[in-house]
Amino acid sequence: MTHLTIAMAKGRTADKALAFFERAGIRFSEYHDKSRKLVIYDDENKVKLIFVKAVDVPTYVEKGAADIGIVGKDTIMENPVDVYELLDLGIGKCELAVAGFPDKQFPSSALLTVASKYPAVTKAYFDSKGIRIETIKLNGSIELAPLIGMADVIVDIVESGKTLKENGLVVLETIADVSARLIVNKASYATRTSQIQQVISDLKAALE
Amino acid sequence: MVRNEVYPERMLSDSEKFERIIKTINKRFTTYGYKRIKTSAFEQYDLYSKVKSSINQNEMIKVIDHTGQVLVLRPDVTIPITRELVENFPDLLSELRYFYVQEVFRQPFDKNDSIERTQAGVEYFCDSSPEADAEVIALACHLMRDLGFSDIKIELGHAGFFNELVQNLPLTSLQIDQLKSLIQAKNVVEIGPFLQNLDITDEVREVIERIPFLYGNPVDVSERTTGIVLTEKMQGTLDYLMDVYSILKMYGLEQYIVMDLGLINHMGYYSGVIFQGYVERFGKPVLMGGRYDELGNEFGARLPAIGFACEIESLVKATDSREVTSRLSIDVKITYADSQLEQAIAIANELRERNYSVLSFSTHKEQVDPRQSVYLIRLDKDGNSLLYKDKVTPFSDLKALLELLVGGLN
C-alpha cells in the first residue's frame, strides 16, 4: 500500500501535533527541531510527512497532493477549500478578533479602514454586519497599522493579548475561535477510507 | 533547461489521450443503447435564469445578439436537453437514452482555469426504479474501467434524505446553506455548536449530528441508521438505496460502492439518488450524477430522468500519473530523394487509401517529425527499400511494396 501523505507547517503546532501522532502510534524519530528535511517517513514507513507553508496546507489537501492536512482554522477560513474537516486537535488555540483602541468613536459617515492578514475573513465578517469597509492587506506587524493611523481597527489572531496590550490596543469583537484542525482530501477519503479512519480514531483516542 | 521538443510532445500526447478517451466513451455509451445528440452552443439566458441549478449567474458567459437579446454560451447540457424534449414529448411515453460529448462554458473562480470544458454524459429518461438507477451507476463504473482506472470509488447518496429532514424546520435559507456546507465538509467540530443556536428539537439535532458519520460500506451504514430515521419517507429513501446497492452487487460492482448519506444535492435539481466517482490520486470527483425527476416540471412536463457527466480534461489529468496509454505511432514513414517526389506521393496516396497512417519527407528534412514508425520506406535515385524490424528489403515498384506489406516479410 502506498504512503498516506500528511501536510503541515513547521513550528509549535507541528511539534504538538507530532506528540499526538506519537501517542497514536505513529512515530517520526527522524524529526527534530533543527532538522531541515522537508519530507520524512514514520518508523513503520506507512506515513509520509511533508512540511509546507501553513497557508498552502489547504491547497495541498484540496488538490490531493496530500491526503491529510493539519492547519489552523484561521487559514481554512481565509482560504476555503472543498475538503472534509474531521477533527479538532485542540492545539494552537487562539481567537480571530477585531482589535483597536478602547473607546474610540468612528464617524459613521467615513469608510472604516481595517488592516489584516486575513482580507477575505475581514470582508465576510463586516459584510455580514452590513458595515462597509476598506481592507488593507498586511503580512505582519498588523498592530502597527492603528498606531500610525493607517487603519482604524485590525483583524488578527489573538493568543494571550500581550502584543495588543503592549501597544495599547484591546479586543473589540471576537470573530471566531481558532485551533488546529485535521482536514482530509475527499477523493482520498473515498479511495482509502479504512486507512484514514484508522488514523483519525487513533488520534481521537490520543486526544482524550 | 527545457528541451525544445518536450512541449510539442506533451501537447501531442494530451490531445491523443483526449481523442482516445472520447472514443472509449462513445463506444461504451453506445453499448448501453445510448444515442448521441447535440445541443446549440448558444442558449437563451432566460432558460438558465428561471431554472434552479448549480450554475451561478455570474459564472455564465453572456453574449448579446443584434436584436439586443441576451444569450449564454451553453453552461450545461442537461437543462437544454430536457427543455428540447419537453417541446417534443410533453409526457414521457417511452424510455429515452441520450448521450453527449460537447463543450460547456463557465467563468472559473480560479483565473488559471479554462472557461471551456468538454463534458461527456448520459441522460436516461425513465421512471424512477432501482434497476434503472443501478444500470446508470454500473455504466459509470464500466466506463471508468474502460479508461484504465482500477481504483474507483462511487459514493452513493440520496437527495431526499436531507431534504426530508430539514423540510419542516424553522430555518432561513441562509441557515440551511450553512448547514449544508458543514455537512458537506463533514465538519463534526462545528456542527454541534451551530445546531445549539437553532430552534430545533434534541431529536432532530442528534440525527443531523450523526449524518457525517453515515459513510462507508452500505450494509454497515444502513445498520447504523437505526434510531435516526424519523419519518416514513426517510426510511423509504434508505430502502431504495439498499435496493440499488443489491442490484449493483449483481453487476459485481460492490467493491466500488460506498454509501454517503452526507452527500447533499449540490445541483439544485436532483431529487433522488445522487452519486459521484473518485479515482485514487486525483483530488476531485471524476464523475457526478443523479436523478432529476422534477426538472421537466419547470417546463411544464413530466420527464423523470437520471444521468451523469464527466469532464474529459479531468480524465486526461487523472490518467497523467499512470501509464494507461501507449503512444499512437505512425505506420509508415517515407523518405525520398527530391527526384523521387512523384513516386513518394503515389505510394503515400495508395497506402492512405488502405488506412495506413503515412508521413513523407524529403531526405534533407528527415528529422522534422521525430515520431517512430513501424515501417520505414526509402526512395533513392538508385533503388527503393523497406525497413521493418531492423531488416532491409529492397523493392522495385508499388505492387511489390504492397505484396511485402501484406505478408511477404515473414
For chains A and B, CB pairs below 8 A equal: 55
Question: Which of B175, B281, B287, B315 to probe by mutation at the A interface, max A CB count within 10 Å?
Answer: B281
Nearest to A190 among B185, B189, B258 (CB): B258
C-alpha dist (Å) from residue B281 to A42, A52, A70, B45, B53: 21, 19, 19, 38, 29
Quote the pLDDT of residue B189. 86
Considering just the CA atoms, what is the radius of gyration of chain A in Å? 19
* Inter-chain CB proximity A191 and B283 less than 8 Å: no
Whether the per-residue pLDDT at B257 is higher than 90: the answer is yes
The interface predicted TM-score of the complex, written ipTM, equals: 0.80
C-alpha cell at B151: 481504483
B329/A contact by beta carbon, under 8 A: no
CA angle B340, B341, B346 (to 5 degrees): 100
- Tell whether B284 lies on the interface with A, counting CB pairs under 8 A: yes
For chain A, say whether B345 makes contact (Cβ under 8 Å). Answer: no
* Closest CA of chain A from B271, distance in Å: 23
Question: B286: nearest CA in chain A?
Answer: A187
Q: Do A83 and B281 count as a contact with CB atoms less than 8 A apart? A: no
Choose the weakest-confidence range: A86-100, B36-50, B292-306, B323-337: B323-337
CB atoms near residue B294 (< 10 Å)? 15
Measured between alpha carbons, how far is residue B348 from residues A183, B160, B375, B398, B404 in Å? 59, 61, 12, 10, 15
Alpha-carbon A33 to chain mean position = 20
Tell me what the pLDDT averaged over chain A comes to. Answer: 90
Considering only CB atoms, A64 lies closest to which of B216, B258, B283, namely B283
Asked whether B176 and B186 are in contact (CB, 8 A), the reply is no
**Could you read off the pLDDT of A151-197 as tens digits, one per residue?**
999 999 999 889 899 999 999 999 999 999 999 999 999 988 888 98
Decide: B28 and B310 in contact? Cβ < 8 Å.
no
Which tens digit of pLDDT belongs to each residue from B99-109?
Answer: 999 999 998 87
CB contact (8 A) between residue A187 and residue B278: yes
Spell out which chain A residues touch chain B, with contact meaning CB-CB distance below 8 angstroms: 61-65, 82-88, 181, 185-193
What is the DSSP code (8-state) at residue B147? T
Q: Where are the alpha helices (DSSP H) in A24-118?
A: 57-62, 73-78
Nearest CB among B187, B258, B281 relative to A64 is that of B281
Residues in contact with A46: Cβ distance below 8 Å, sequence separation at least 6, in sequence order: A1, A3, A4, A26
B136-168: per-residue pLDDT in tens?
Answer: 999 999 999 888 888 899 999 999 888 888 887
Query: In this structure, is the dihedral angle defined by the CA atoms of residues B255, B267, B136 and B104, taken in order, positive or negative?
Result: negative
Query: What local confidence, expressed as pLDDT, does residue B325 receive?
Result: 41
Residue A191's Cβ-count burial label (10 Å; 0-12, 13-18, 19+) is buried
| Degrees, nearest 5: CA angle A149-A154-A155 | 170
Q: What is the pLDDT of residues B305-361, one digit of tens each?
A: 999 999 999 998 888 654 444 445 678 889 898 888 888 999 988 888 888 888 888
Q: Which of A85, A87, A187 sits opposite B283 (nearest CB)?
A: A187
Whether the predicted pLDDT of A71 surpasses 90 = yes
Amino acid at B45: Y
> Can you tell me which residue has the cell 503515412?
B358
pTM attached to this predicted model: 0.79
Of the candidates B246, B177, B181, the residue with the CA atom closest to the CA atom of residue B218 = B246
Q: What angle (nearest 5°) sits at the alpha carbon of residue B226, between those of residues B223 and B229? A: 125
Assign B239 a pLDDT band (cuts: 50, 70, 90): very high
Per-residue pLDDT band at B5 (split at 50, 70, 90): very low
B54: pLDDT strictly greater than 50: yes
Please check whether residue B264 touches A, CB under 8 A.
Answer: no
Contacts of B189 in chain A (CB under 8 A): 85, 87-88, 181
Q: What is the DSSP letter of B3?
A: -
